[in-house]
């Protein structure tokens, strides 16, 4: 048992609540969770990918290529896409940028996706979301062939994950699984609770956890007693984008906490979890920023390399 978890267990009273530590032992009794360094794990993943890209180039005489499609002028999307391009170049992949005007027609957007599907230089295709309101996201993203669906967003990729077939999985859940592994989280038989039910994160995260033999609960805006659901979690994953929603007393002592949320506040960027409070209860926790974020991009690179190998 990790030191922090052992300490947390020792502090539990019979009713499962934390015992109030005698003042003299106040400092000693405080549990300090291990902070999971997403930047360091992502750097290790990028090194593995760089080696994979070099081997691919050796064998095929070209490098894997990631095509991004950015539609419209959403500033945050442009920043995300630029950082995905930088990451590709850092590992020796090619980034192929396509930008379309915000009033592009459905037919033009789909025609581009279909051209990219047929282009042998393109290993993976990423249509950055959100799309302008007149375009139906799933109508456009579902045109990506599953072999190049590096976001794992298409119906075919989601279905493959749902029934346990090989396929590309959404990047953030893949990144979280890697962080859980690095944190030494015991998933087999664990209670895992996810806050958020999006197609890009909550649902695929749940399926990956079940594949890893966890018992999984997905909570959302209609969940009746969120705090109680969270208190059951050995692994708690919050992805709702509500600053510091998860309080310290929602966390089971010794839990591993993964914070996927990121909100800009007057205090800077903060996650969905009250980090300082969680530090005293959890056994391990991801920081915001520097936790899950870097792993999303590392997983995108991993998916692009995988797609290149499948389509080579
Ligand atoms: N917008 C915000 N996150 C993502 C992502 O992971 N993939 C895509 N395609 N769009 C996004």
Where on the phi/psi map is residue 241: left (φ > 0), alpha (ψ -120 to 50), or beta?
A: left
Q: Residue 30: its pLDDT value, please?
A: 62
What span, in angstroms and rounded, lies between the C-alpha atoms of 184 and 172? Answer: 18
Q: What's the 126 CA to ligand 1 centre distance in angstroms? A: 8
Tell me how far CA of residue 126 lies from CA of 68, 177, 189, 247, 303, in angstroms. 5, 21, 35, 35, 11
Give the catalytic positions in this structure.
Answer: 84, 128, 151
Residue 128 Cβ contacting ligand 1 at under 6 Å: yes
Task: Write the pLDDT tens digit of every residue in 216-269.
Answer: 999 999 999 999 999 999 999 999 999 999 999 999 999 999 999 999 999 999
Question: Mutation test of ligand 1: which of 72, 74, 80, 294 has the most ligand atoms closer than 8 Å to its C-beta?
Answer: 80
Q: For the chain, list the domains and their CATH numbers.
A: 3-31+172-293 (3.40.50.720), 62-148 (3.40.50.10860)
pLDDT in tens, 7-53: 344 333 333 333 333 343 444 556 699 999 999 999 999 999 999 99
Taking only the tens place, the pLDDT of each residue in 91-133 is: 999 999 999 999 999 999 999 999 999 999 999 999 999 999 9
Q: Name the one residue in this structure whose structure tokens are 């050995």.
A: 234
How far apart CA 258 and CA 106 sit, in angstroms, is 37
Would you state the pLDDT for residue 92? 98
Strand order in the sheet with 191-195: 34-35, 284-285, 256-259, 235-238, 191-195, 215-219
Using the predicted structure, report yes or no on whether residue 3 has a pLDDT greater than 60: no
Which residue has the CA at smallest separation from atom 9 of ligand 1?
A: 128
Shortest-distance Cα residue to atom 3 of ligand 1: 129
For the entire predicted model, the pTM comes to 0.89
Count CB atoms within 10 A of the CB of residue 15: 6
């Amino acid at each position: 048992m990790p030191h922090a978890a052992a300490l947390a267990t020792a502090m539990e009273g019979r009713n499962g609540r934390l015992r109030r530590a005698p003042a003299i032992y106040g400092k000693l009794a405080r549990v300090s969770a291990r902070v999971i360094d997403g930047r360091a794990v992502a750097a290790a993943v990028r090194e593995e990918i760089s080696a994979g890209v070099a081997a691919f180039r050796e064998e095929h005489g070209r490098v894997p290529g990631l095509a991004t499609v950015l539609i419209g002028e959403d500033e945050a999307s442009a920043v995300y896409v630029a950082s995905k391009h930088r990451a590709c170049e850092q590992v020796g992949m090619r980034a192929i940028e396509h930008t379309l005007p915000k009033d592009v027609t459905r037919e033009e957007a789909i025609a581009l996706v279909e051209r990219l599907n047929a282009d042998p230089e393109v290993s993976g295709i990423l249509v950055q979301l959100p799309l302008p309101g007149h375009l139906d996201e799933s109508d456009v993203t579902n045109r990506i062939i599953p072999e190049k669906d590096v976001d794992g967003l298409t119906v075919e990729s989601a279905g493959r994950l749902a029934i346990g077939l090989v396929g590309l999985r959404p990047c953030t859940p893949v990144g979280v699984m890697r962080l859980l592994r690095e944190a030494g989280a015991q998933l087999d038989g664990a209670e895992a609770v996810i806050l958020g039910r999006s197609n890009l994160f909550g649902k695929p995260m749940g399926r990956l956890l079940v594949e890893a033999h966890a018992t999984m609960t997905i909570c959302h805006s209609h969940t009746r007693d969120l705090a109680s659901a969270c208190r059951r979690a050995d692994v708690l994953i919050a992805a709702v984008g509500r600053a510091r929603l998860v309080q310290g007393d929602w966390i089971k002592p010794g839990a591993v906490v993964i914070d996927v949320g990121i909100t800009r506040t007057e205090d800077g960027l903060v996650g969905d979890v009250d980090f300082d409070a969680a530090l005293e209860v959890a056994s391990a926790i991801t920081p915001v920023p520097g936790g899950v974020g870097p792993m999303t991009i590392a997983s995108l690179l991993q998916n692009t390399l995988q797609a290149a190998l499948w389509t080579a």
